[in-house]
Amino acid sequence: MLIQRARLLDGRTVDIRVTGRIEEVADALTPRLAETVFDAAGGTVIPGLHDHHVHLRAAAAALDSVQVGPAKVHDRAEFARVLASAPVGVDGWIRAVGYHESAAGPLDRSVLDELFDAVPLRIQHRSGVLWFLNSAGLAAVGLPDHPDGRLRSYDTWSDAVARRDTNLAAISSRLLGYGVTGVTDATPALGADDIVTLTEEHRHGGLHQGVHWLAPGKRILHDDSLDLDELTDWIAERHRSTGAVALHCVTASQLVVSLAALRAAGTHAGDRIEHAAVVPADTIAELVDIGVLVVTQPNFVAERGDQYLADVEPGDQPALWRLASLLDAGVRVALSTDLPFGGADPWAAMRAAVHRTAATGAVLNAGECITATAALTMFTGHPERPDVPRTVEPGQPGDLCVLGAPPAEVLDALSADLVTATVIAGHLHCRA
The list of the chain residues with pLDDT below 70 reads 163-166, 189-209, 432
Closest CA to 60 of 188, 174, 159: 174
Cα separations in angstroms, 233 against 46, 223, 258, 419: 42, 18, 12, 46
Residue 31: CATH number of its domain? 2.30.40.10
Q: What is residue 189's predicted lDDT score, i.e. its pLDDT?
A: 66
Looking at the structure, do residues 179 and 216 belong to the same domain, yes or no? yes
Q: How far apart are CA 138 and CA 112, in angstroms?
A: 11
Query: Range of 279's domain?
Result: 49-55+167-389
Q: Which of the 8 DSSP states describes residue 381?
A: B
| Number of domains within the chain | 3
**Contact by Cβ (8 Å): 330, 387:** no
Looking at the structure, do residues 211 and 357 belong to the same domain, yes or no? yes
Q: What is residue 122's predicted lDDT score, i.e. its pLDDT?
A: 96
Q: How far apart are CA 322 and CA 187, in angstroms?
A: 23
Looking at the structure, do residues 247 and 382 belong to the same domain, yes or no? yes
**Contact by Cβ (8 Å): 105, 61:** no
Residue 211 in any domain: the answer is: yes
Residue 323: CATH number of its domain? 3.20.20.140
Q: How far apart are CA 349 and CA 133, in angstroms?
A: 32
Domain end: 115, 138, 160, which one? 160
Q: What is residue 201's predicted lDDT score, i.e. its pLDDT?
A: 61
End-to-end alpha carbon distance in the chain: 20
Residue 15 in any domain: the answer is: yes
Domain end: 160, 176, 206, which one? 160
Q: How far apart are CA 135 and CA 8, in angstroms?
A: 58
Looking at the structure, do residues 107 and 122 belong to the same domain, yes or no? yes
Residue 204 in any domain: the answer is: yes
Cis peptide leading into 70, omega within 30 of 0?
no
Quick one: the chain helix, strand, coil %, rounded to 5? 35, 25, 40
Give the angle 229-234-235 at the CA atoms, nearest 5°: 100
**Contact by Cβ (8 Å): 274, 246:** yes
Q: What is residue 423's predicted lDDT score, i.e. its pLDDT?
A: 95
Looking at the structure, do residues 115 and 184 belong to the same domain, yes or no? no
Looking at the structure, do residues 227 and 322 belong to the same domain, yes or no? yes
Given strand 49-54, what is the order of strands in its sheet?
49-54, 180-185, 210-213
Looking at the structure, do residues 194 and 119 belong to the same domain, yes or no? no
Closest CA to 250 of 213, 281, 221: 221
Residue 60 in any domain: the answer is: no
Looking at the structure, do residues 203 and 253 belong to the same domain, yes or no? yes
Closest CA to 52 of 171, 181, 176: 181
Residue 33 in any domain: the answer is: yes
Give the angle 121-123-129 at the CA atoms, nearest 5°: 135
Looking at the structure, do residues 128 and 31 belong to the same domain, yes or no? no
Domain end: 116, 135, 160, which one? 160
Q: How far apart are CA 432 and CA 429, in angstroms?
A: 9
**Other C-beta atoms lying within 10 Å of the C-beta of residue 37:** 13
Does the model's pTM come out above 0.75? yes
Residue 395 in any domain: the answer is: yes
Residue 263 in any domain: the answer is: yes
Residue 330 in any domain: the answer is: yes
Looking at the structure, do residues 314 and 401 belong to the same domain, yes or no? no
Q: How far apart are CA 340 and CA 299, in angstroms?
A: 12
Looking at the structure, do residues 270 and 329 belong to the same domain, yes or no? yes
Looking at the structure, do residues 134 and 204 belong to the same domain, yes or no? no
